[in-house]
Homo-oligomer: A and B are copies of this chain.
Amino acid sequence: MANDIIAKPIRGVVPPMVTPLATDEELDQRGLNQLVEHLIQGGVHGIFILGTTGEGLSLSHSTRRALIQRVNELVEGRVPVLVGVTDTSLLESIALAEFAGQAGASAVVLAPPVYFPHEQAELVRCATLVAERSPLPVMLYNIPALTKIAFEPDTVAQLCEVPNIIGIKDSSGDLDYFQAIRNRTIGRGDWSLFTGHDLLLGQAVASGAHGGVCGGANVFPRLFVDLYEAAVTSNHARVADLQKSILKLTELYQLRGNSTLSVIRGIKSALVELGVCSGRMAAPASELPEVCRHQVRDILSSVYEEFPSITL
């Protein structure tokens, strides 16, 4: 087991990196390189690839593997790399975890298996099986809006006793749930609790979270890193200030529709404006239309005005 290669609990800002695509099946290699540097220069504490924002489940398995391989090469151990291994088949999740281990990643991230409606006992069995066979530690991933099932607090408490499971990322946006799982896992010192919601980072850290997996950190990593650091040092005025810029930034997420895909579309379109990488979406989703680009520019400009120290 390689789970000694990552300091625990994992802390800080770990962006769910978008996947730069040149075609439906090929990575935008130049963009990928630039995006990784953009994030690391922005001070992020880790990079999470192949999550929801990374459109992991929409990519072919060979593209997923190429991405795992390449990102680990580019990062060169400067920050931990977390790899999403959620799938419809738990065997494919295990295979991805094995591949991620060989490629030098630090941990894998696992949501409930998609498609069949499982019972909580089956979620326990699934996560336990993956944890047993994964060479890397496993972080749970709660995102009921997409998987249609949550890891219930009792389930999280049970899985918190499995040594190779090291934490949970909660993207439910449900603060009551967040408190419930925090209360149920607080006894384990090396357990990480992450929020998956951009606007909740400050509040979540104040409530005991170890960090955030924030989509907007793809665009302005420094903004989220600064907010995280202000939150851990209880610099509340600074948190409130930066929060306003994040609020502005999240206008990107609703330029076209109001779904998870529109969030990713907004982030990728901002990265196009910043010259970082391609805005192409994984098929069959489509890119933000040209006609919305001035809105993207307006939002980015407003954030710059508020937060001039942003370095790209």
**A interface vs B, CB < 8 Å?**
24-25, 55, 57-61, 63, 87-92, 95, 113-119, 122-123, 125-126, 129, 146-148, 153, 173-177, 179-180, 183, 197, 199-200, 202-203, 206-207, 234, 236-237, 239-240, 243-244, 247, 250-251, 253-254, 257-261, 282-286
Contacts and interface: CB of A to CB of B under 8 A. Distances in A.
B261 A117 contact: yes
Nearest to A230: B236
Which of A115, A153, A282 lies at the interface centre, i.e. has the most chain B CB atoms within 10 A of its CB?
Answer: A115
A110 to B, nearest CB: 12
B206 A240 contact: yes
A206 B91 contact: no
Contact of A260 (B117, B126, B197, B239): B117
Contacts of A88: 57-58, 87-88, 114
A247 B200 contact: no
Contacts of A91: 24-25, 59-60, 63, 283
* Copies of the chain in the assembly: 4
20 contacts: A57-B89, A57-B115, A58-B113, A60-B91, A60-B95, A61-B89, A61-B92, A90-B283, A114-B114, A115-B147, A116-B146, A116-B259, A116-B260, A118-B284, A173-B173, A175-B250, A176-B258, A179-B251, A199-B203, A207-B244
A180 B115 CA distance: 25
Contacts of A125: 283-284, 286
A232 B129 CA distance: 49
A179 to B, nearest CB: 6
A297 to B, nearest CB: 17
A286 B237 CA distance: 44
Contacts of A24: 91
Nearest to A183: B251
Given A115-B146, A258-B180, A197 B175 contact: yes
Contacts of A57: 88-89, 114-116
Contacts of A89: 57-61, 282
Contacts of A55: 116
